Amino acid sequence: MSRSRYSQEDVQQILQRAIARQPRLGEFTRSQLEEMAAELGISPQELEEAEREWRAWQQLTNQQREFQRYRQRQFYQLLGQYAIVNSFLVGLDWLSGGGLSWSLFILMSWGLAVALKGWSTYQTEGERYEKEFRQWQKKRQKQLQRR
């Protein structure tokens, strides 16, 4: 093998791939993690800080997943309401006049609003998403404090 030099990012990627190729040996213990870090020249303090950052990242990721499920539930509830109400209105319009007239305007305008809500529900980046996520976090925190 040649004596190449690798950047820190290259080393991380190579080690991640090598670990992924290993047969599933189960989970690692805290002492095994500390041993691996020591072999790589990582101090216990650096390891501790990295673990704290990782836990914070994991917590944030879990909250974002929960927020996304919340947004999807809200969207599907809106979609269900749209389907029920508009089915009734279309049926009423059909029975009263033998065709679609006024209910079509409601169906189309409300349908546009529902489509836009659906589009924004599946957007998980940007300022609007971040703002909604922070609001949801505050609301959730207040609910947890009441318990």
Which parts of the chain are beta strand (E)?
none
pLDDT reported for residue 20: 74
Asked if pLDDT for residue 3 goes beyond 70, the answer is no
Q: Is 71 exposed, middle or buried (0-12, 13-18, 19+ CB in 10 A)?
A: buried
Three-state SS at 56: helix
Sign of CA dihedral 64, 68, 69, 70: positive
- Count CB-CB contacts under 10 A for residue 103: 20
* Domain range summary for the chain, segments of one domain joined by +: 28-146
Condensed to tens digits (0 to 9), the pLDDT of residues 109-134 reads: 999 999 999 999 999 999 999 999 99
Of 140, 77, 139, nearest to 114 by C-alpha is: 77
pLDDT at 25: 64
**Alpha carbon distances (Å) from 57 to 20, 71, 73, 84:** 21, 21, 24, 41
